[in-house]
Structure 1
Amino acid sequence: MTNDVYWLLKLDLDLDNKDEFEALMAEMVAATLQETGARSYEWHMTGSAVHIYERYASSEDAMIHMQNFGASFAERFLALLTPVGLDVYGPAKDDLREALAPVGAVFHQQIGGFDR
């Protein structure tokens, strides 16, 4: 088992805003790269569907990311993208659960397996 907390956020993008989206994504990737607890931060796109895979070393590190996101990016992000799903894995603490709840996060409990 792992202490990592990770999720797959699914979003819909209005393709008329693709240039703004790409600029914002570049800013967000650069900012998240500075977070020492961020292990993976990958953006994927097919048509207007955007998926973001994020992995953090702990629930506390994920919460640091959420605080940075809220302070610097949330307003512009939510003006461009519509959340359609969020699946969260790992031992998310109550504060992180609260922070992710507004976008309909579904929390999954690990029941087996391993992490290398």
Structure 2
Amino acid sequence: MNDQVLYIIDFDVTEGKETDMQQLIEDLMESTSKESGVLNYHWAKNGNIYDSLEHFESSKAAYDHLTNFAENFAERYMSLGTVISTTVYGNPNPAVKEILDGFEAVYKQTIANYSK
């Protein structure tokens, strides 16, 4: 079975903290670019709703990323707004689920997948 993990986090940035959020995203992009097993790390926004799409080749890669995030960025991230939703695709292991559950994750069962 494919061990890839993909999740999308919708985050409501507090008004007036957009500049701080942009700086955090730049710092996250730089840090994540050095991690192994990252297939896609994408940020988008609509108004003050910021989305991150995070795709990893394995639960290990997702866990490593989430651990780095928790140690270096989580406090700053949470000071800038509120998580609206977290949708998870793939087959994350229990350790990854435990972390994502802190973001009130909803898990979608994969019924078909094509990936190179």
Name the SS for the 2:36 alignment partner.
coil
Residues of 2 paired with 1:61 and 1:46: CA distance? 28
The aligned counterpart of 2:82 is 82
Residues of 2 paired with 1:114 and 1:26: CA distance? 30
Q: Could you tell me how far 1:36 is from its partner in structure 2?
A: 1.2
**Per-residue deviation, residues 20-41 of structure 1 (Å, max 9, x unmatched):** 1111110011000000111110
Residues of 2 paired with 1:42 and 1:112: CA distance? 22
Q: Could you tell me how far 1:112 is from its partner in structure 2?
A: 2.2
**Per-residue deviation, residues 5-31 of structure 1 (Å, max 9, x unmatched):** 001110101130111111111001100
The aligned counterpart of 2:51 is 51
Contact 1:6-1:54 at 8 Å conserved across structures? yes
Residues of 2 paired with 1:44 and 1:58: CA distance? 23
**Per-residue deviation, residues 47-78 of structure 1 (Å, max 9, x unmatched):** 01111000001011000001000000000000
Residues of 1 paired with 2:31 and 2:109: CA distance? 29
Residues of 1 paired with 2:80 and 2:41: CA distance? 19
Q: Equivalences for 1:1-116 in 2 at 5 Å?
A: 2-116=2-116
Residues of 2 paired with 1:76 and 1:114: CA distance? 35
What are structure 1's unaligned runs of at least 5 residues? none
Residue-pair matches, total: 116
- Which structure has the highest helix share of the two? 1
Cα RMSD over matched residues?
Answer: 1.1
Deviates more, 1:10-19 or 1:61-70: 10-19
Q: Could you tell me how far 1:111 is from its partner in structure 2?
A: 1.6
Runs of at least 4 residues off by over 4 Å: none
TM-score by length of 2: 0.95
Residues of 2 paired with 1:109 and 1:42: CA distance? 22
TM-score by length of 1: 0.95
What are structure 2's unaligned runs of at least 5 residues? none
